[in-house]
Structure 1
Amino acid sequence: MSSLRALAAAQAVAAGVAQPVATVRHLHLSRRPLVLVPLAMAGEANAPLAAMVGAAPGEGRLLIVPQPRNRDQRFAFVAELAATVLPYVDSHRGANEAVSVDRGREVRYRYLDAPQVLVPNPAGVTFLRLLGRATRFRRVDGEYPVPPQVPLLGRWLTFFAERAEHPGSATLVAMTQALSLHWATGQSAVEDLHLPALLGWIAPPAGMTGAEAAAYAEDPVRCPPAGPATDPGFDNERLAPAIEAYAAAEADEAARGEAYAELEKLLRDQLTPTWELMWRGVGLLRALPLGARVPARWEGDRDAFTAYTEHVDADGAPQPRRDGAVAAAARLHRLERAAARYAVQRAYDDPLVMAEYRLTGEAFVGEVVLADPGRIDDSGRRPVLRPRIQVVTTDPVLVGAGAALSSPTRPGQKARVVFVTPGAEGRTEVVLELSGGMGRGLTATPGSVPEVGERLCYTTLSEAYVPAGTFPALEETPWTHGGPPGPAGEGDHLPRPEEAWR
């Protein structure tokens, strides 16, 4: 936990309500997201019990598994889930746009929108990932056949789960993480994983403090868990008898219908509160102004969606159960680059996020007191425009001469530290030499050089492009890491005897 977030948490306790730790929304929200609230049966490995799914508050569809230990009923549940999720995914395969690549020499196309799935918490993301793994390799013929939409849904669930690992992606979002990204509560990070308690801190009911609302939400009878786990008391006292009653009524059609209706009502009562809280959270997030760099990150999600759609249409193979050594290293490299880029973009978009870097000396805010916009550097082979400015700041400045800095207000312009001079009363004078973003001539374009009196932020964080790493080809990879003599990942697409739901 950063110093500022710890301070915000302390202020939340004092004020009795969660405190904002962001001034903008760092997350894309679809106009019509698909909310999915899953429930799993306790004591069974990712056995689905029920789900409520829909793309609008009044469109929640309840799906249940009357007997979660029954393999056929499990796959029937997945087929029903696919009947909602797959049409939602296909609805985004409409209009596309041309995107120039390779400096305009080539053109590719991507969809104008992409699907977005919202689940209550990170455990919901894990549930979908495991559900995708358990279904994407199923066969539609031969032994243990499943409906054709089951393996297709498994592949899309795996796609969503993999995108959820990508920093800044909004394709699959856990609501508790999205809310915690923008508000700090007076409870622990573990307690923030409970959606009713988290929303109790952010928007407590009238007459209650955040702490009181969170304590009220701890009662599983009044506020059922947000899934996929259920409360043990509910399991033992209500769910188990209802499942047993359904199983006992197998020979009596009328009794079986009554038992199913009772079980359906029981599970609806468990899921409806979380369903309503999910849309409440969507409303809170939607009320925040959008960060400037969020649309660019959503373009990355649209690119990924377009690419995977083309892969599925071309009858490509399902995602392998395990990546090969090179594929795993390349994926880790992509995630690390995305994490660094996401951190910079959040700081550039949000002064509250940048304040954390100001505390550590990686950024400072100051006022321009001197400016020489026409300075020419003629020490090289040809003269170049190199204006200098002097900035006075009261922030700690830990960078030295020669350090390269950037400003969020002028991301295309670089600043090199020339001098750092500590002054009186905690003030520090920093002389910066500017380059780039001022036109091509020896005269700076109007407004491109900071003027005296302007207040600016400079930081070591940079949005500059970093080339991707290079990795060996398959034939250059040793056999110990999946290379010759056999193909890497051979047989990974086949089901294993120990796979769940077998």
Structure 2
Amino acid sequence: MSLIATLARLEAVSTGRAQPTATVRHRHLSGHPLVLVPLTTAGEAGAPLGALVGTDRDAPRLLVVPQPRDRDLRFAFLADLADVVLPYLDSCAQAVEAAERTETDPETGKRVKVEVELCADAPQLIVPSRAGLDYLRLLGRSMRFRRTAEQDPETPHPAPPRIPLLGRWLTHYGERARVPGSSLLLALTEVLSRHWATGQSSLEDQHLGALLAWIDPPGDDTGAEAARRAELARDADGQLLCPPAGPATDPAFDNKLLAPAIERYDRARTALAAAEDALEADDRLAALTAAEREIRDLVESRTRPTWDAVWRGLDLLRALPEGARVEERWTRDRWSFTGHRDRVLAGEPPQPRRDDAVTAANKLATREREQARLEAQEALDDPLVMAGRRLAGEAFAGEVTDVVMAYSEGKRPSPRPLVTVRTDDRPHLAERAKVYRSLDGKPQAAEFAGYEGSPDEGEGFLVVLRIVDKMGRGKEPEPGSVPEKGDAVCFTLFEHEQRGGAKLPDPEETPWTHGGPPGEAVGEAPDTLTEEDVL
């Protein structure tokens, strides 16, 4: 946690209200997102209990599994979920625009630009908390390998046709959510915590009701009082007034309300199966319908408060202006969505259970690169974030006090002007360290040349920098490429653009030290179990 974030949390405790840690919104928000509030059965993470899902704030669709242990009812729930999610994904798959992409020519091996299709927009999924995000990833993993009756007529318990496809999409969105800065799948508590600091722990911030209570407490209550009430307040029947933000449920709800309702449903279903005539079947069918309706009402009572809280949180985020570089990151999300759409249309198999060595290394390198890029871009977009980097000695801002024209040595001298900056910051500058500033959206590099005079606490440091690029090809720098006396400037010690890593081999050329080519058996089979192995 940065120093400025720690200060914001301390101020939140002092004032009783969450403090902003950003002046702009650092994540893209779609104008038409799909909100999903999942609920799962206690004790079995993969057994769905229900969900509220939809794009209409006032008309969500309620999906319920009356008996989570029934495999057929689970499949029916997942099929209904696919009927909601897949059309939403398809709505962005058709509208495309022309875009250029750099690819390697298989004949020459050179990098060339080719024109390809890029989806004009991408679908955005929003869940209440990090636990909901993990739950979607679990659903995707459990669904994408399911066999349908069309694929394998002899498979036991065949899945409805659209379930494997939904599993592939949820897996892709879950993997993309692990890339820093991605906005395809967002956990609302994570986004709110990025923009506001509360007076509670980051674990407590995962309760959406408590988090919103700190950010926007009702009436004259302090954030701590409102958050405590959101977490602990119960009605006369002992049920939470603000249920957890899913997918977990409260034990009091499970034991007092849900378990008896499911038991009544089971008895009604057993009685219907034992009916001996049509009249008796009609009566027992009415009892079964009433028992199912009771479970639906219970699930809706647990998910609807969270559904309303999600949209309230989105309203708070939309009030912030979008950061300048958010659209660039959303374009990379659109590329990701378009690439997976093309793989699905091409009939490629689902994502493997375990990545090969090259794929895993590429994913790790991508996440590391995107994390560094996100931290740099957030600082460049937001002066409050940049203040944290300045406090850490990773950037400095000040006023240009002098500019002296100088040139490099050699047959063709190039301009290397010396710029003196007065700053009150304390950057960690080493000899000949590189620093960068944003010039028309592109990073301009400079080299630390030393201090002028001795540092004076009353007047700040005088830092001398040598500008080394982005000044044109002529002998004289282009207008505007060199700071002028009196200009306010901000230089960073971190790079604005991240470089690519070393090229990895193709998966088919994976060395034996990293598992060998995919599909090959590696090493000897383990020893068989003997009596000595079992105590």
TM-score range, shorter chain: over 0.9
**Mean Cα deviation higher: 389-398 or 170-179:** 389-398
- Report whether the alignment pairs 1:386 with 2:416: yes
Q: SS at the partner of 2:368? A: helix
> Counterparts of 2:469 and 2:508 in 1: how far apart (Å)?
43
Of 450, 469, 475, the match for 1:419: 450
Q: SS at the partner of 2:27? A: coil
- Report whether the alignment pairs 1:181 with 2:214: no
| Maintained 8 Å contact 1:376/1:383 | no
**Which amino acid letter does the alignment assign opposite residue 70 of structure 1?**
D
What is the match of residue 498 of structure 1? none
Q: SS at the partner of 2:475? A: coil
Q: CA deviation at 1:475?
A: 4.5
| Maintained 8 Å contact 2:419/2:466 | yes
Matches within 5 A, 1:19-34: 19-34=19-34
| Maintained 8 Å contact 1:412/1:436 | no
Q: CA deviation at 1:87?
A: 0.3
> Counterparts of 1:20 and 1:175 in 2: how far apart (Å)?
16
Report the CA distance shift for 1:181/1:484 in structure 2 as closer, same or farther (over 3 A): closer
- Map Cα deviations across residues 146-196 of structure 1 (whole Å, 9 max, x no partner): 111011100001011000000000000000000000000011111100000
- Report whether the alignment pairs 1:224 with 2:243: yes
After superposition, the CA RMSD in angstroms is 1.7
**Mean Cα deviation higher: 72-81 or 395-404:** 395-404
> Counterparts of 1:484 and 1:185 in 2: how far apart (Å)?
49
> Counterparts of 2:112 and 2:146 in 1: how far apart (Å)?
42
Of 104, 109, 117, the match for 2:125: 117
- Map Cα deviations across residues 293-318 of structure 1 (whole Å, 9 max, x no partner): 11000011000000000000011110
Q: CA deviation at 1:327?
A: 1.6
| Maintained 8 Å contact 1:40/1:229 | yes
Of 430, 436, 454, the match for 2:463: 430
| Maintained 8 Å contact 1:397/1:428 | no
What is the match of residue 304 of structure 2? 272
What is the match of residue 482 of structure 1? 515
**Which amino acid letter does the alignment assign opposite residue 469 of structure 2?**
G
Q: Unpaired segments of 5 or more residues in structure 1? A: 490-502
What is the match of residue 206 of structure 1? 219
Report the CA distance shift for 1:81/1:417 in structure 2 as closer, same or farther (over 3 A): same
| Maintained 8 Å contact 1:388/1:431 | yes
Report the CA distance shift for 1:313/1:17 in structure 2 as closer, same or farther (over 3 A): same
**Which amino acid letter does the alignment assign opposite residue 238 of structure 1?**
L
> Counterparts of 2:518 and 2:449 in 1: how far apart (Å)?
57
| Maintained 8 Å contact 1:364/1:459 | yes
Q: How many residues align?
A: 487
- Report whether the alignment pairs 1:453 with 2:466: no
Q: CA deviation at 1:367?
A: 0.9
- Report whether the alignment pairs 1:408 with 2:408: no
- Report whether the alignment pairs 1:106 with 2:106: no
| Maintained 8 Å contact 2:372/2:498 | no
Query: Sequence identity of aligned pairs in percent?
Result: 52
- Report whether the alignment pairs 1:85 with 2:85: yes
| Maintained 8 Å contact 2:406/2:418 | no
> Counterparts of 1:488 and 1:473 in 2: how far apart (Å)?
18
Q: SS at the partner of 1:59? A: coil
Q: CA deviation at 1:381?
A: 2.5
Q: CA deviation at 1:428?
A: 1.0
What is the match of residue 463 of structure 1? 496
> Counterparts of 1:105 and 1:162 in 2: how far apart (Å)?
27
> Counterparts of 1:105 and 1:472 in 2: how far apart (Å)?
22
| Maintained 8 Å contact 2:507/2:518 | no
> Counterparts of 2:217 and 2:497 in 1: how far apart (Å)?
42
What is the match of residue 259 of structure 2? 240
> Counterparts of 1:378 and 1:221 in 2: how far apart (Å)?
71
What is the match of residue 130 of structure 1? 138
| Maintained 8 Å contact 2:359/2:507 | no
Report the CA distance shift for 1:488/1:299 in structure 2 as closer, same or farther (over 3 A): farther
| Maintained 8 Å contact 2:268/2:291 | yes
What is the match of residue 401 of structure 2? 369
Q: Unpaired segments of 5 or more residues in structure 2? A: 103-110, 233-238, 273-283, 523-535
| Maintained 8 Å contact 1:400/1:420 | no
Q: CA deviation at 1:104?
A: 7.1
Q: CA deviation at 1:243?
A: 0.7
**Which amino acid letter does the alignment assign opposite residue 422 of structure 2?**
V
Of 346, 368, 376, the match for 1:314: 346
> Counterparts of 1:147 and 1:475 in 2: how far apart (Å)?
34
Q: SS at the partner of 1:408? A: strand
Matches within 5 A, 1:151-170: 151-170=164-183
> Counterparts of 2:197 and 2:498 in 1: how far apart (Å)?
32
Q: SS at the partner of 1:229? A: coil
- Map Cα deviations across residues 22-43 of structure 1 (whole Å, 9 max, x no partner): 0110000001010000000001
Report the CA distance shift for 1:486/1:134 in structure 2 as closer, same or farther (over 3 A): closer
> Counterparts of 1:485 and 1:183 in 2: how far apart (Å)?
45
| Maintained 8 Å contact 2:356/2:507 | no
**Which amino acid letter does the alignment assign opposite residue 20 of structure 2?**
P
**Which amino acid letter does the alignment assign opposite residue 242 of structure 2?**
C
Q: CA deviation at 1:477?
A: 2.5
Report the CA distance shift for 1:474/1:118 in structure 2 as closer, same or farther (over 3 A): closer
Tell me the TM-score normalized by structure 1: 0.94
